Chains A and B, each alone.
Chain A
Amino acid sequence: MELPSRLRWTLRLLAWIGLAFLYVPLLLVLLNAFNKSRTFGFPPTGLTLEWWRAAWRSEGARSALGTSVRAAIGATAIALVLGTMAAFAVQRYHFFGRSSISLLVILPIALPGIVTGIALNAAFRTVLDPLGIGFGLTTVIIGHATFCIVLVFNNVQARLRRMSGSLEEASADLGATGWQTFRMVTLPNLRSALFAGALLAFGLSFDEIVVTTFTSSPDVQTLPIWIFGNLFRPNQAPVVNVVAAVLIIAAVLPVWLALRLAGEDAASSRI
């Protein structure tokens, strides 16, 4: 039996209004990528492709994109490892302080970016500088990984909660080593959770600006920092819109693909 049809129609309407709300500004971004006026006058005085040409030539944008991708991959990798380890520890064992772990793990993402940024900046200055590790891609990755851990942790923990330990025990009883069990029994079942966590971690790291401002160096420009610096230059702002438009269009495919690969219940991924 179906839900009452009036309810369904109301929900359908509200949902599509919500989606429209989400997409109208993005359509404006797309429009401004073709807008002749440098400062996004509306209605547009004319349409032009010149910003697309400028964006294509812009090596600043390209190198910033590359830096962002590298930082996001590094942060996601670390978050995957640490988040999974922590999730296993919390889910499969009982110990003192267990319930505080979820609180601790969420803290980096819950605290305002400026607080995390200042704290990490001061810490890097006092601890890493004497060791000769200057600010740069490494410090950016460390900063990003810190708040990306929670994304993997939550997804893996939620999945582990649904997987009883009996499968693993059975595997061990049958003679598999710990590593074999992990690789052949646990990992395939965790796959969608890991994918969901990795996708969210990548996206968060890719778009992060506040913590990055405090942990980066002048020659390591991630894409958001490049955008921040260029949104304030009259002739660069439309190029920024072009970059954003490309990102939106380009992101749809990988997101869809990742969700497909992750499996049917990855859609219930955890932030």
Chain B
Amino acid sequence: MRVTLGRVGTALAATAVAAVVVACSSSSKSSSPAQGASGQKPPSVPMASSVGAGEGALNIIAWAGYAESGQNDPKVDWVHPFEQQTGCKVNVKIGNTSDEMVQLMRTGQYDGVSASGDATLRLIYAGDVAPVNTDLVPNYKTISAFLKNGKWNSVDGQMYGIPHGWGANLLMWNPSSVTGTQDSWAAVFDKSDQYKGKVTAYDSPIYIADAALYLMATQPNLGIKDPYSLTSAQLDAAVALLEKQKANISEYWADYTKEVQAFESGTSVIGTTWQVIANTINGGAKTKVKTVLPKEGSTGWSDTWMISSKAKHPNCMYKWMDYIVSPSVNAQVAEYFGEAPAQTLACQHTSDKTFCQTYHALDQSYSNQLHYWTTPQKQCVNGGGSDCTDYAQWVTKWQQIKG
């Protein structure tokens, strides 16, 4: 007996359609990485006025190597001492790229993040992070002055985070496969054919800036003044360079174990790196690598610990921010990761007494030479006009390069 259940069927269909209509009309704007120009005001987010007792837990997003808890090397642990001191149990989520970190912060489920300059402004203008009351962070006073009130971590004199450390992207190579001393990025660009299929590069659109930096030195006629302020024509030139490079690429790395493994197995023999990766490889038994800051200069990062505007454990986050830039802890982090500590007093606590010299930790003029990660915007970040390409365009170009 055929029972036409037209009523049930249509009722269900109608409900589904209604759901769609309702959802469409509700104005649920997805929280956005606003790419506001200077002059645009970030949304007003309340700032803490005091730090109370710890809430017992803390969820943070960190670069690999910034929040070590003894899992990678039992002797490298500054998380457990923090937990014992403050009672805040720490959950660390490793972010592999700035883009991941921005996305994770947008969910509102984390209390803080160690953001590089290409994430900070996106977070500030989207209202995902709160301004920081630096009076509540005693160790802030002795942080290097040139890291305070930077274009990437403050707006109109209001700090949005606590500077943590800074460093450069380096050129790394395996001397047993790559002969001769390297001193130029040409090895991974114009001269990369000799390492066919064994070159590696960072898997993020921000790497386009590295190509632009190379073009700044080798093709000055393009008129590139800042690797993050690229007009369409300049962007296309950088993209062309990267498309040529792609033929010689073995793989792009986003997580640093991938690069460690690639060098140890011989999949890659030369490419861009962070000091911590070189330290990890040299600490292992198999392969030895060398690093250099090439003569054309380099891109780099200047990282800032920021607190979420929706932090569920703000007191623990403030305690963490103060702890991580305290002299002995900042020294530990800097030495493990291989970057210059933001804390000036950390230089007295490093186990290698020449550490701060090697990394030019207190040298402002050296720091000024590095081109720190910044989010490209339409309004050129170096103040040179408003016809620059923005990050969304870089993303599409990056996918185009990978093909």
List the interface of chain A (C-beta within 8 A of B).
37-41, 45, 93-97, 125-126, 135, 217-219, 229, 231-237
B83 within 8 A of A: no
**Which residues of the partner chain B approach A234 to less than 8 Å between Cβ atoms?**
72, 257, 260, 280
**Which residues of the partner chain B approach A126 to less than 8 Å between Cβ atoms?**
23, 26, 28
**A218 and B93 form a contact (CB under 8 A):** yes
* 0/1 string, B40-75, CB within 8 A of A gives 1: 000000000000000001010000100000011100
User: In the assembled complex, how far is the CB of residue A8 from the closest CB belonging to chain B, in whole angstroms?
Assistant: 42
User: In the assembled complex, how far is the CB of residue B30 from the closest CB belonging to chain A, in whole angstroms?
Assistant: 8
**Which residues of the partner chain A approach B9 to less than 8 Å between Cβ atoms?**
95-97
**Which residues of the partner chain A approach B107 to less than 8 Å between Cβ atoms?**
135
**B71 and A232 form a contact (CB under 8 A):** no
23 A-B pairs with C-beta separation under 8 A: A37-B284, A37-B286, A39-B257, A39-B265, A41-B265, A41-B286, A45-B286, A95-B8, A95-B9, A96-B4, A96-B5, A96-B6, A97-B9, A126-B23, A218-B59, A229-B93, A229-B94, A232-B94, A232-B257, A234-B72, A234-B257, A236-B71, A236-B72
**Which residues of the partner chain B approach A135 to less than 8 Å between Cβ atoms?**
107, 109
B21 within 8 A of A: no
A111 to B285, CA, bound (A): 45
**Which residues of the partner chain A approach B256 to less than 8 Å between Cβ atoms?**
232
What's the tally of chain B residues with a CB closer than 8 Å to chain A? Answer: 36
List the interface of chain B (C-beta within 8 A of A).
1-6, 8-9, 23, 26, 28, 57, 59, 64, 71-73, 91, 93-94, 96, 107, 109-110, 255-258, 260-261, 264-265, 280, 284-286
**Which residues of the partner chain A approach B257 to less than 8 Å between Cβ atoms?**
39, 231-234, 237
User: In the assembled complex, how far is the CB of residue A60 from the closest CB belonging to chain B, in whole angstroms?
Assistant: 8
Select from chain B the residue with minimum beta-carbon distance to A235: B72
A126 to B28, CA, bound (A): 7
**Which residues of the partner chain A approach B96 to less than 8 Å between Cβ atoms?**
232
A55 to B234, CA, bound (A): 51
A20 to B109, CA, bound (A): 44
Select from chain A the residue with minimum beta-carbon distance to B283: A234
A38 to B96, CA, bound (A): 20
**A233 and B23 form a contact (CB under 8 A):** no
Other-chain residue from A39, A45, A232 in contact with B64 (beta carbon distance below 8 A) = A232
**Which residues of the partner chain B approach A96 to less than 8 Å between Cβ atoms?**
4-6, 8-9
Select from chain A the residue with minimum beta-carbon distance to B68: A233
Q: A39-B264, A41-B265 are in contact. Are A233 and B93 (CB under 8 A)?
A: no
Q: Which of B64, B94, B110, B261 has the most CB of A within 10 A?
A: B261
User: In the assembled complex, how far is the CB of residue B110 from the closest CB belonging to chain A, in whole angstroms?
Assistant: 6
